[in-house]
Structure 1
Amino acid sequence: MENLERDEPLTPAGRLFVSPVMSQIINCVIAVENPIDIEAVRAEISNSIMVKHPRFCSLLVKDSCGREHWRRTVVDVDSHLIIRHNTLSDDPLVSDEVAVNEYLADLSVSSPLGTDKPLWEIHLLMAYNSAVFRVHHALGDGISLMSLLLTCCRRADDPATRPTIGGIGAGSSPMLKQRWNFWTLLKVVWYTLVYVLEFIMRGLWLKDRSTALSGGAGVELWPRMLATAKFQLDDMKTVKRAVADATINDVLFGVVSCGLSRYLDIRSTKALREGLRFTGVAMVNLRPQPGLQDVSELMSSDSETRWGNKFGMLLFPVHYHRGGSNPLEFVKRAKTMIDKKKLSLEGPCSYKIGDFVMSFFGAKVASILNYRIVCNTTFTISNVIGPREEITIVKNPVKYIRVNSTSLPHAITLHMVSYAGRADMQILVAKDIIPDPEVLAKCFEDALIEMKVAAEVASRS
């Protein structure tokens, strides 16, 4: 009884992420320039805010009724460090990035975190100067975890200063900033009704048409491959300026739509209908302040920008279009769609619906409905804004930061993180459905390049 009084129940979102069918682990890989100093890493972790954070020093336990709780414990840092000195591939021609991606792809399938210790661990890949930070999604969302990670980092140009983490991000769910009137209010009500109704229907029966990109029930257990699409933020900004009032997220969804269309042109064995829809699932930050957060603010019980999983689910339709059209049209169509989404309350409503189902029907029903939403759509996408400047961790310059997660019933999962003027998108695929993720990555990269060229031509005309 004494332990139970100290135990803290999981939030509804936390209970969803520990359920068997929706269990999710976030894998964040950080590559550094120089060899990793194991003792320095151990000391940094031991002195970091992470081991003082309630979620990172608690065990996941169940009471006699089967309900999950957090129970505080003493963190043994060594038990969370997994050190691999050997190479990951016997082929000397395999590059470091490909070898690390193969390792992450293996971790994404059936590699749970043990409940005998807090639900996180760090893999040090010594031969590749890389560290893989594995955190269970029940501990927090991408905004929370990236904000926490950056407390262990310093700016490369000013080692005494932490990276910029305030007010730099996208992915929040504020309404479009505009003059409110009766017509605007009417559109808010209409779009909210339409999108919430579709959200409910997706959890029940509405399903995307089958294509060469489609997954389905059980696909989360299939072997995975992982490739990286690399973008320059300056290129995305060039495209953004070519479309009035566009955002980086508009450009991202335009690139995804164009890239997937290109890939379907390559892979499909039969002609596809122009405008064929396939749906992506995206998470939207519901905190009042967009972007990365101050960790002390997140951990404050009085804060509105609290720690945890504070996001809603959005359904983003993209459409197939044959090659030959102006690539900027993909961005314009994406902007039109996203503007409508921003004007709706789909994100907050999906959060409330999930909270209601979890509270009144339990984790099993909620996880089944979420699983069905994933099965009835085509891909998952997320976009987390990382530090704007180059950073170091334990005084070691960081080359890149990349993120992916445990596999889902989707055949494609896309996770993009920006860092110091670049943006890397991890493309996790079921290899029996999409055997050539490098081709898909090239389709995305080529799409942005063509959009940039079209934008530069448009600016000169």
Structure 2
Amino acid sequence: MKELYVVAAIGLATPLNLPVFRAGLEAQLARNPYFRSIQVTDKDGTPRWVRTTVNMDNHIVVVPRLELDETDADPDKAVEDYLSSLSTLPMDHTRPPWEFHFLDVRTSEAASIVVLRMHHALADGMSLITLLVSSSRSAADPAKPMPVPPPPARRAGAIYAPPPSTGALVWIWSYLLLAWHTLVDVAAFVATILFLRDPHTLFKRVDNGEPQRPMRFIHRSFSLDDVKFIKNAMNCMDVDMIESGKSDAVRWGNRLGYILLPFHLAMRDDPLEYVRKAKRIIDRKKSSLEMIVVHMAIDITFKIFGPKAGAYIFNNVLRNTTVTFSNLIGPPEQIELCGHPVAYIAPSVYGLQQALTVHYQSYSNTIKVILAVDEAQFPDFRQLLDDFAESLKLITKDVAAKASTKPIKND
């Protein structure tokens, strides 16, 4: 993760009160040892974390005003330009690699913006969302801590299912199928590390040898109710990524799992066929231990052969695939962070070997789609978001039309 960074834009529903926000940061970050550490390298080349003194002035960047084009004074575009500029700025690793940027500018969705930029080695998305939830208060009643997301429902798939009542033969067959799917998936993952590459399409970056180019971060909010409506109509399962908001509920650092998903480029007459196809792929992946086995194998490789072996696997998987998808469940209701109500949360990353990264972040009754795009490869990047919106509209409309012809159950 040498050049991999997190950029998380948090829209605030009120104008920025910097002293209040700063005091909240000082109180919360003192709980997290990673935010008070720097990485050093031992004589044998092994990196490790060492505690250091944090000077908050070195980690707070106040932007008094953004440069707005005189002919097109668009604050949303100005914030977007500023976020893009962060992907080209180096970070001083002689101090803990994180910083907060405060943009006191009103946009179409927020009264002010706070941007967290940090090295990905500090934490993964699960850790950051847990820190966010545990550091926030309920916007409805700031005297109370933020209620944690509900526990996940019982998961589906062969490994989670109880022995069937139809007999031992079916039970044995289900585990043989689990073993076969795991073997096939792990073999495909190893092949992807070594030689198997995606074909070159519009979405795949073709210039892996060039220096890292600036990324553009764009996002749009969608109705979570619409997504749930499609999920229920298509009989899809929830994807729950976090079970508790307590700061000690997950391990800090990075506990990454990988799963390879085939993504088919096709034009279909029925919009719902895209959802059906995705559901079939996910159902098939649920009958596999690919993520668990791959995570264990990478962990063992890292411990035996060191960070360079881990980096080889990490970089080759990204270099040989096309798009990275990541999603996290956020607070189920509006929160207040450091005395400021939060309007939206839009996390992303830069430093990957791919031209497009897609993040999904739920918050209250909305879901954010955040794209990190290589502007040189996607000059019409806003059209991508328009396509997301149009696709969701078509799928929702089609689901509603089919649902209206069926009897409604009272459950």
State the TM-score, normalized to the length of structure 2. 0.89
Residues 1:228 and 2:231 aligned together: no
Contact 1:26 1:403 in 2 (8 A): yes
Corresponding residue number in structure 2 for 1:184: 174
Shift of residue 393, structure 1, vs aligned partner: 1.9
- Mapped to 1, the partners of 2:90 and 2:364 lie a distance apart of 32
CA 1:88/1:398 → structure 2, altered by over 3 Å: closer, same or farther? farther
Deviations 1:10-37 (A, max 9, x none): xxxxxxx2x3xxx321111111122211
CA distance, structure 2, for counterparts of residue 179 and residue 116 of structure 1: 52
Whole-Å separation in 1 of the counterparts to 2:73 and 2:366:
23
- 228-237 or 196-205, which deviates more: 228-237
Indicate the residue corresponding to 1:315 in structure 2.
Answer: 260
Is this contact kept in 1: 2:350–2:372, CA < 8 A?
no
SS at match of 2:105: helix
From 24, 40, 52, the equivalent of 1:44 is 24
Q: Does 1:439 align with 2:359?
A: no
Is 1:119 the counterpart of 2:119? The answer is no
- Which structure 2 residues correspond to residues 408-423 of structure 1 after superposition, within 5 A? 408-423=352-367
**Equivalence for 2:409:** none
Q: What number of residue pairs does the alignment pair up?
A: 391
For residues 147-191 of structure 1, give each alpha carbon's deviation from its aligned partner in whole angstroms, at most 9, with x where no partner exists. Answer: 112233211111112223344579x99866433411210121011
Instruction: Give the partner amino acid of 2:161.
Output: Q
Offset of residue 293 of structure 1: 3.2
| 1:422 CA drift (Å) | 0.7
CA–CA distance in 2 between the matches of 1:296 and 1:322?
Answer: 45
Q: Map residues 18-417 of structure 1 onto 2, 5 A cutoff.
A: 19=2, 23-48=3-28, 50-91=29-70, 93-108=72-87, 110-128=88-106, 129-167=112-150, 177-180=160-163, 181-216=171-206, 217-218=208-209, 221-244=212-235, 246-247=236-237, 290-298=241-249, 305-323=250-268, 325-417=269-361
Match for 1:117: what amino acid?
A: R
Q: Which amino acid aligns with 2:130?
A: S
What letter is aligned with 2:397?
A: V
Indicate if the aligned counterparts of 1:229 and 1:442 stay in contact, CA closer than 8 A.
no
Code of the residue aligned with 2:225 in structure 1: it is: D
Q: Give CA-to-partner distance per residue, 1:102-143, whole Å, 9 cap, x none.
A: 2222223x4343222112111111234111112221111101
Question: 3-state DSSP class of the match of 2:30?
Answer: helix
The answer on whether the counterparts of 1:220 and 1:408 sit within 8 Å (CA) in structure 2 is: no
**Rounded Cα–Cα distance in structure 1 between residues aligned with 2:211 and 2:244:** 31
> What is the alpha-carbon distance in structure 2 between the residues aligned to residue 241 and residue 140 of structure 1?
33
Verify the 8 A CA contact 1:230 1:445 in the aligned structure 2: no
Q: What is the percent sequence identity of the aligned residues?
A: 31
For 1:388, what is the secondary structure of its paired residue? coil
AA at the equivalent of 1:208: D
**CA separation of 1:227/1:290 partners in 2, compared to 1, >3 Å: closer, same or farther?**
closer
Question: Counterpart of 2:99 in structure 1: which amino acid?
Answer: E
Tell me, what secondary structure is at the counterpart of 2:222?
Answer: strand
Indicate the larger mover: 431-440 or 127-136.
127-136
Q: Secondary structure at the match of 1:312?
A: coil
| Paired residue type of 1:293 | S
Render the CA deviation track for 1:56-80: whole Å, top value 9, x for unaligned: 1112111122211111122222221
| Residues 207-250 of structure 1: CA deviation (Å, up to 9, x unaligned) | 11111111142467123223223311111111112212x0355x
Gaps of 5+ in 1: 1-16, 250-288, 299-304
Counterpart secondary structure, 1:398: strand
The one-letter code sitting in structure 2 at the alignment partner of 1:440 is: L
Matches of 1:179 and 1:340, distance apart in 2: 18
Instruction: Report if the CA contact (8 A) 1:83-1:123 is conserved.
Output: yes
State the match for 1:254 in structure 2. none
Contact 2:21 2:339 in 1 (8 A): no
**Residue 201 (structure 1) shift:** 0.6
Question: For the residues of structure 2 that align with 1:389 and 1:290, how far apart are their CA atoms?
Answer: 16
The 2-side partners of 1:313 and 1:434 are apart by 26
Cα displacement (A) at 1:459: 0.8
In structure 1, C-alpha distance between the alignment counterparts of 2:328 and 2:152, rounded to whole Å: 7
The residue type equivalent to 2:56 in the other structure is: V
Cα distance between partner residues in 2 of 1:239 and 1:329: 12
Displacement, 1:415?
1.1
Q: Which amino acid aligns with 1:84?
A: V
AA aligned opposite 2:25: I
Matching residue's letter, 1:130: I
C-alpha spacing 1:164/1:418, structure 2 compared with 1 (3 Å): same
Q: CA RMSD in A?
A: 2.2
Describe the shift of the 1:292–1:31 C-alpha distance in structure 2 as closer, same or farther (beyond 3 A): farther
Is contact 2:336-2:342 (8 Å) kept?
yes
SS of structure 1 residue aligned to 2:345: strand
Give the TM-score normalised by structure 1: 0.80
Secondary structure of the residue aligned to 1:432 is coil
- Greater helix proportion: 1
User: 2:184 corresponds to which letter in structure 1?
Assistant: V
Match of 1:449 in 2: 393
Secondary structure of residue in 1 paired with 2:344: strand
